[in-house]
Chains A and B, each alone.
Chain A
Amino acid sequence: MIERSPWQLLEFLYLLARMELKARYKGRFLGYLGAVGLIFALAFVFWIAFKVIMGLDLPNYSVYLVAGLFPWAWMSMGVVSASRSFVANAGLIKEMGIAHAILPLSNVVQEMMHFALALPLIVAWVAIPGDYPPTWSWLWQIPLLMALQLVFVYPLALAAALANAYVRDIEYWLGIGFVLLFFATPMVYPVSMVPEGLARYFELNPFHALMECWRTVFIESRFDATHAAYAAAFAAVEGVVVWFLYRRFAPRVGEVV
């Protein structure tokens, strides 16, 4: 096992992130527009399907969609790619004894980068029509939420990577899990549409809390402290649980990948 200092690990993280940036955008503007454009296209499809065809009645629906889809994409793609990170880098883990924890972190950070790069376009989308002008408060609210989301998502990513190393099905389960969550969070309709009995359960969903925070920032320029606190508390619990799981299962990852 090579001795690694935290600085060395951070440098490694930086290198991985740079590689991903290069690969995804190939240093050109159009690649960036393409990646961001796809998520806007997805929002457009949902808008057609839900507003035009199914008659969903929500005045700020396009903003509602966009404000949620980008953080969601960061989270779901981060966790799903992280789940493959140990298996995909089996050689790395086996031969270099690399600190396992950094690989899923690199996936989450990479997606966060893509999110950060998309922010200017998101802000433009929300602000330009005029109903939801940007305010100075976004300057602290957005970074704060990003930090919250990072702390929220990383333990999930690490747990996914550990689980998938032992039980290869996990990445397929994750796919379903996120679709389930997508409708349970909910991402394409407001929670007000949920019938009385079920609504309480939706409020219990920590992912809902996190996504609501994003929406209130963009739509109301307000920091939703209650939901944020709930999400942070959940992140703390996740952190503890995953720390124990990591100590128990990480050492044997090299044998099972």
Chain B
Amino acid sequence: MTAALECRDLWKSYSSKRVGLKTLLLRPEVARTSRYARRWALQGVSFKVSRGQGFGVLGANGMGKTTLLSVLLGIVQPDRGSVSVQGRVASLLELGAGFHPELSGRDNVFLYGSILGMRLHEVEERYHAIVEFSELGDAVEEPLRTYSNGMVTRLGFSLIAHAPADVFLIDEVLAVGDARFQEKCRRHLQEFRKRNGTLVIVSHDMEALAEVCDEGIRLEMGEVTDAGPIGDVVRRYQSA
């Protein structure tokens, strides 16, 4: 099986300096070197995910999971190392990033769909399926600011779920809607994998990870401290 996604020796650090005009003009050497308060978010992270595999990433908050996904997506450049991804990627790092409260659900679907990389005709083809999956009904014509949090997240997830993609990257957003809806989402992801789609999920929901993934890693302070079949990694994390 060809690797759908591979990370080789990823290193990423952050420095918390903001530069103002004065610093830039008067002390350019400070602005250039960002060696102040360097925090390593990722340290030598490497792993491979094969097509059709579900890959889970565990770890406490602030351990580097979101950074890892940002690097995989190409939003953030690693200091060292490389990433290669095969096929079309759809990501859900934050529900409704790009949603606008004044627009209707319908307008937001098209806008967000385009933001995710879909062509207008692709969104058009999937529109009814998306609305149905989200269980919004007529509310889809109302402005988004009238929606409850649950409705927004259901719409966002539904859009992602129907995006034509080979690889899904998901950050923490499996806890969407009520228990029944969550079950629906999990089943959808399992169907996706059966069709040879690749999943990379970051989550705290151990049950969901165990259901949907088969392998995984654990991140601590940006380092991979455990790897293997997801069941084992989860068990060891919970007993620690």
Contact = CB atoms under 8 A, between A and B. Distances in A.
Direct contact of A and B (CB under 8 A): yes
A81 B26 CA distance: 30
A28 B30 CA distance: 15
Nearest to A33: B22
A26 interface: yes
- Secondary structure call for the A interface: helix
B1 interface: no
A75 to B, nearest CB: 26
Interface in B176-224: none
Contacts of A117: none
B24 to A, nearest CB: 11
Interface in A1-49: 26, 28, 30-31, 34
B97 interface: no
B20 interface: yes
Nearest to A32: B22
Nearest to B101: A90
Interface residues of B, number: 4
B21 interface: yes
Contacts of B20: 26, 28, 31
A28 B22 CA distance: 9
A152 B130 CA distance: 54
A34 B20 CA distance: 11
Interface in B9-47: 20-22, 26
Nearest to A29: B22
Contacts of A31: 20-22
Contacts of A26: 20, 22
A30 B20 CA distance: 10
Contacts of A34: 21-22
Contacts of A30: 22, 26
Contacts of A28: 20, 22
Interface in A127-152: none
A42 B21 CA distance: 19
A192 B21 CA distance: 42
A30 B26 CA distance: 10
A62 B154 CA distance: 62
B106 to A, nearest CB: 22
Nearest to A256: B145
Nearest to A257: B145
B139 to A, nearest CB: 18
A34 to B, nearest CB: 7
A256 B6 CA distance: 48
B95 to A, nearest CB: 17
A30 B21 CA distance: 9
A212 B21 CA distance: 35
11 contacts: A26-B20, A26-B22, A28-B20, A28-B22, A30-B22, A30-B26, A31-B20, A31-B21, A31-B22, A34-B21, A34-B22
Interface of A: 26, 28, 30-31, 34
List the 5 closest pairs (A to B, CB-CB), nearest first.
A30-B22, A26-B20, A28-B22, A31-B22, A31-B20
Given A28-B20, A30-B26, A34-B21, 5 more contacts: A26-B20, A26-B22, A30-B22, A31-B20, A31-B21
